Chains A and B, each alone.
Chain A
Amino acid sequence: MNGPNHFEGKDPLEHVIEARRKGKLAASEIHGEELSGHYSAAGSAAKETAIIILILLALTNTISPYLLLSFLFGLLIWKTSSSAILGWRRLERLHRLIEEERWEIEHHRPQEREELTALYAAKGFSGKQLEEVIDVLMADDNRLLQIMLEEELGLNLEAFEHPLKQAVGAAMGVIGASALLVFGLSFLPYWGALLCGLFVIAVAAGFTAHLEKNRPLSAIIWNIAAAMLASGCAYFLGQLFYP
């Protein structure tokens, strides 16, 4: 893998930073909104809408279209606003971290220098070369803050969508899933909704797996299986309590 392609036009240091970033992202657990972006918000919201409706249909033999529409409208508002609120909470946390790091750089400069020395010593720098690298990195506070955020804290700059954009993604997910489910329900009252629901889950799971660079096929199968298990369990428990 050595050669010009390995660094993809970046210098070795940038390459190491990029590699660490990818490693952190790959290692983080993906749970719905934890994956940033409006596309993933849309996928996650569509999947949740579909599974909620499937469970609802599993528990009630018939559901009035108006009742369903009212329910879906409420769900739309909740998913949209909660997606935005989660996004803002994350942004608030990140902004707090950046303020704290800036304070550290301003008030604990020798310690920050030690941290940076340790980081770059681990990369193989030593002696006068290490001193020079640290001097250059410490020379510009702006650059130092970026390095500490990325290397010490493992944060990704310019990586998140605005909470409102994410919320719009979630809203699109709910609207898309709802439209398909209502369409299915109006043509084939029971099976139509089930098939459309599973279709929504499959598409959303495949799409988010593609975004995460995971294998779409296994993601689709696992998600459909989990959705069928969830609605099946609810259906059978319903039959148990209300035979």
Chain B
Amino acid sequence: MAYLFDEFFASGAEESVSPFLTPQSRSWGENLSLKSAFGAACFLILAFGFSFTHPPLSNLFLSLVYFLAGVPALIAAFNDLKNLEINIDVLMTLAAFLAVLIGSGLEGALLLVLFELSHGMEDSVSRKARSALHNLNNLAPKFAHAIDRDGIVFEKAVREIQTGTHLLIKQGEIVPLDGTVIEGTSSVNLVHLTGESTPNLKIPGDLLPAGARNLESALTMEVTRTSSDSTLTRIIQLITAAQEAKPRVQRWLDQFGKTYASTIIGLTALFALLLPWILSIPYLGIEGSVYRALAFMIAASPCALIIATPTAYLSAISACAKKGILLKGGIILDALASVTQIAFDKTGTLTTGHLECTAIESLTNSLLPLDTALAIAAALERQVVHPIATAICNLAADKKIALPEIKQFKTVPGYGLEGVLANGTAVAIGLPEHIAAKLNHKLPITKNAGQVLTLLLIGSDLFALRFSDQIRPKMDEFLRKIEQINGLTPLMLTGDHEQNANHVANLLGIQQIHANLRPEDKLAKVAELAEHGGLAMVGDGINDAPALARATVGISMGRIGSATAVDASDVVLLNDDLAQLNWLFLKAKMTKRIVGQNIGLALAVICLATTPALLGLIPLWLAVVLHEGGTVLVGLNSLRLLK
């Protein structure tokens, strides 16, 4: 079996999916930094225990801690320094290693273990949340069934197919390139492209967009666009461009961290150089300026500061996961907190995206009960896989109607189904034009915007079955709350016609509507709106993916959403429950508040406890109690986000 390299490349060459490792041993590479942090934590406990009884043994375990937790921190710190970046990580690593010089190896090791643990947990959570981006490429078929001059069908790489090539699209396959139907009749749906599940009939001469799924029978098409400019490739290119153009949300804390670390490192150097001149003390020795400066640096890197942010983010991410909300990293919480507008796609997001049979009516004043007509329709439709068939069968199943036997069943691809009942009555269901052709006269029926119509013919009795996409339950209440509680302005961005968009918007009370938008138009609109304040975009189709990638926060639906939309988004609602968004925005704001409180607490520990202790203003034991107490308080404060 061929190895699937896509997952490996999408993971950033992670060893847990390395193609070179035996499948049995790949699990050794999972969550390595977290495993290493836990190992280091165990050794630290041993080192602490033995420090009272066997100091050499304590030092042995301390060496193991520095090896396991210190080496990764050291490599990361050197990489930061190579990029001329002095941040809080560099400060912590420097303080941890310099602690050995002044005989505070245990304190340094504690810093390293906490540092490694928080990074390990963040990595682990992010890895779980980050869905593999290879789905983006999986969507686009890699090869197609080309037909040569002799009529022989063979596989050919999509990127090598030129315009004019004839391709065979089998039932259930995704159309690989844009083209024109030259043979066959079938229905296709664009559910992967637009979220729209309504099937479209394709007959010779019709355009067939890449990404459409062929629902019924085989089609032969002629390629009109190569892979470099097909619809699907264009959307994927748009997504990539949007991801690159997306303004990088920076943790507000990062800038603070840089300033703080640079200040502390600068002050340490200053104290080491100037203290002998000010206090008339030597440079070296336990009373020397170098020793005091190092002690100052270690004191200014308290545990509380390390755990202030990761514990808060991890608690919030964990609480979201429990509710079925997947966040692709803690930084998304910051972005969510900055959002002021929220845009929704229509089909599949505000509506369910599935057709429902909303009405059955007799067009010929038939005496046949409507339930009997439904039973006959379901008996015909249960033989095929089609969105309309599913809707009819679901309704019949809900009504618990027994289905009659159908004989001489046959399909007319793209048009309908035919058969004969046990009593010999001919029955047919399908497109109005198909049924009209059987009756040899025009039918006086109308359909409303957004409605799909199917006709059922039982002998000479004619029935109309109407289908439409339904608005999700309690959507109006959700939108009212999101405006009132979170102060967000809702708007609609849709590729659908203005009439359909207005109809749904009116029902839901959405004021701002942007309709008839192609994927690139949606992207441009999102970019424009995002300039006037944080914008969250909620969508589910591939056509939404560029906009989801470009928005301040992209939110997708896990169940009905296309894999591409899920990949391009930052937040995934695993249960497709939009009502959870109100809770999520509140949680994001609370997280930001708690991170701020944690930082304040950590700084208070430095100012009120550790530094005065170094200057001899408060006893050391009190400093230790305040220091550790501060760490515990920060941890407990973060745990509030678990609720």
Contact = CB atoms under 8 A, between A and B. Distances in A.
Given A139-B142, A159-B22, A161-B25, A146 B3 contact: yes
Contact of A158 (B6, B9, B21): B21
Chain B CB within 10 Å, residue with most, of A138, A139, A165: A139
Interface string B1-28: 0111110110001010011111101101
Interface in B145-187: 154-157, 159-160
Given A135-B155, A136-B155, A102 B5 contact: yes
Contact of A157 (B15, B20, B32): B20
A142 B18 contact: no
Interface in A139-161: 139-143, 145-146, 155-161
Contact of B154 (A132, A146, A156): A132
A158 B17 CA distance: 10
B29 interface: yes
Contact of A160 (B3, B21, B157, B160): B21
B154 A136 contact: yes
Interface string A154-173: 01111111111100000000
Contact of B156 (A95, A109, A139): A139
A115 interface: no
Contacts of A139: 142-143, 155-157, 160
A110 to B, nearest CB: 10
B142 A146 contact: no
A161 B5 contact: no
A111 B37 CA distance: 47
Given A159-B22, A162-B25, A162-B26, A140 B156 contact: no
Given A135-B156, A156-B20, A158-B3, 11 more contacts: A91-B18, A98-B20, A102-B5, A139-B157, A140-B155, A157-B19, A158-B21, A160-B21, A162-B21, A162-B25, A163-B28
A195 to B, nearest CB: 32
A146 B4 CA distance: 9
B154 A164 contact: no
A91 B156 contact: no
A118 interface: no
A155 B29 contact: no
25 contacts: A81-B67, A91-B20, A91-B21, A94-B18, A94-B20, A95-B20, A98-B8, A98-B13, A102-B5, A102-B9, A109-B160, A136-B154, A138-B160, A139-B157, A140-B2, A140-B157, A142-B5, A145-B5, A156-B20, A157-B3, A158-B3, A158-B21, A161-B21, A161-B25, A164-B32
**Chain A contact patch, size range:** 20 to 34
B2 A142 contact: yes
A34 B347 CA distance: 58
B32 to A, nearest CB: 8
Nearest to B26: A162
B35 to A, nearest CB: 9
Interface of B: 2-6, 8-9, 13, 15, 18-23, 25-26, 28-29, 32, 67, 142-143, 154-157, 159-160
B3 A98 contact: no
A135 B9 CA distance: 24
Contacts of A156: 20
B20 A158 contact: yes
Given A136-B154, A162-B28, A142 B6 contact: yes
Interface string A37-63: 000000000000000000000000000
A135 to B, nearest CB: 6
A27 to B, nearest CB: 19
A162 B157 contact: no
Interface in A80-114: 81, 91, 94-95, 98-99, 102, 109
A159 B20 contact: yes
Contact of A146 (B2, B22, B23): B2
Nearest to B2: A143
A109 B18 CA distance: 24
A94 B21 CA distance: 10
B142 A140 contact: yes
B19 A98 contact: yes
Contacts of A132: 154
B15 to A, nearest CB: 6
Contacts of A98: 5, 8, 13, 19-20
Nearest to A147: B2
A165 B20 CA distance: 14
Contacts of B25: 160-162, 165
Contacts of B67: 81
A141 B140 CA distance: 13
Nearest to B30: A162
Contacts of A141: 142, 157
Contacts of B5: 98, 102, 142, 145-146
In the A-B complex, the 8 residue pairs with the smallest Cβ-Cβ separation, listed nearest first, are A162-B28, A139-B143, A162-B25, A139-B155, A164-B28, A161-B25, A139-B157, A165-B25
Contacts of B15: 91, 162-163
A155 B142 contact: no
A136 B146 CA distance: 11
Nearest to A143: B2
B142 A142 contact: yes
